[in-house]
Amino acid sequence: MRRFNLAVLAALTLSAGLTAAPAQAQPGHHTPAGARHALGIDHCAAGVCHFDVPPGTYDVRVLLGGDDASSTAVTGETRRSLLPETPAAPGERIARSFTVDVRTPEGEPTGPDGSPGLDLVLGGAAPALADIRVTPARHARQIFLVGDSTVCDQPGAPYSGWGQQLPQYLRAGVSVANYADSGESTVSYLGNPQLWGTVRPLIRPGDLVLIQLAHNDKTTDEPTYRTNLESLVDGVRAQGGRPVLVTPIVRRWFNADGTLDNDTALLVNGLGVNHPAVIRSVAAERGVPLIDLTARTKALVESLGVEASKSIYLYNENKDNTHTSVHGATVYAGLVRDELIALRLVPAALVRV
């Protein structure tokens, strides 16, 4: 049976250094007086913590552990993995921190608003929380995600996008603002004011913007696709942000010889447009960092083979060879994490390995 330990340690000194500054609020929002101070464990009950804060960026510091052995993970908002499962020995206390983006809508930009404020859920084999502090982030770096259903914060199990799993690999000081949305192509993302029209004004100098759009560009010709990618790159740079082009994850469609060298798997559309190749070309021509997730996921899926790779996708649940399971999304987010380090886009000290 899972346990939720709400014992507050009287001698705990987590409040040191947590003097709050105004939150990095979204335009039109203000930080109320109640959000200017650390919010704590009195906002938690039965494995769930709710903090009545406005949209913005917040640092969360947790103290994990209890009298018995424990193992605790933290998810938040729309099923985002914010902290990987962390074991603690009996009586041990382990401090961990992360930074979280709070916004409305809290998940997919064209989805429901979700609940206001910040919601965190304890999970893991034996969750135990000794204390928690939530404060407005002072100098957090933002990673924006522009993408489709393979990236987005999926609202319901068993689905998960890799962007939904990426936050658990980042330490306090970096937050993920996942504006990926199901069903979007480069055409629809640029044309919808809830998407690019919302994201672009939020980008600040120094922010990273990871762009993975290809799965739904099934009827987009190559000149249009190339122009759309260039428009996204130029828009990010105009805001002072740093664009990063990401080739799409492969679809799990094997040839008879066990390879994925076919149009369906490697995202070549019906017009013959090789999406990964165009992305690579635009990245090279515009001097944009490239995360070649197509190559990385192809190598991984082929190494797993026909049977073992089923667990990466939702084949066993829905015969789905495009969308990933929580396990698969976590693995793919790990590949993105590795590339962020290798390309020196995020300081290694701010990444969990």
Q: Looking at the DSSP assignment, which residues form a beta bridge with residue 64?
A: 94, 129
Burial of 339: CB neighbours in 10 Å, binned 0-12, 13-18, 19+:
buried
How many of the other CB atoms lie within 10 Å of CB of 346? 20
Per-residue pLDDT, 1: 32
48 confidence band (pLDDT: 50, 70, 90): very high
Distance, in Å, from the CA atom of 271 to the CA atom of 41, rounded to the nearest integer, reads 56
Burial of 279: CB neighbours in 10 Å, binned 0-12, 13-18, 19+:
buried
28 confidence band (pLDDT: 50, 70, 90): very low
Residue owning tokens 């906002």? 43
Using only the alpha carbons of the chain, give its radius of gyration: 21
User: What confidence tens digit (pLDDT) does each residue in 267-276 have?
Assistant: 999 999 999 9
User: What confidence tens digit (pLDDT) does each residue in 83-109 have?
Assistant: 999 999 999 999 999 999 999 999 999
Residue owning tokens 């890799």? 162
Distance, in Å, from the CA atom of 329 to the CA atom of 157, rounded to the nearest integer, reads 12
Per-residue pLDDT, 37: 61
39 confidence band (pLDDT: 50, 70, 90): confident
Distance, in Å, from the CA atom of 253 to the CA atom of 264, rounded to the nearest integer, reads 7
Domains of the chain: 38-136 (2.60.120.260), 141-346 (3.40.50.1110)
Mean pLDDT, the chain, rounded, equals 90
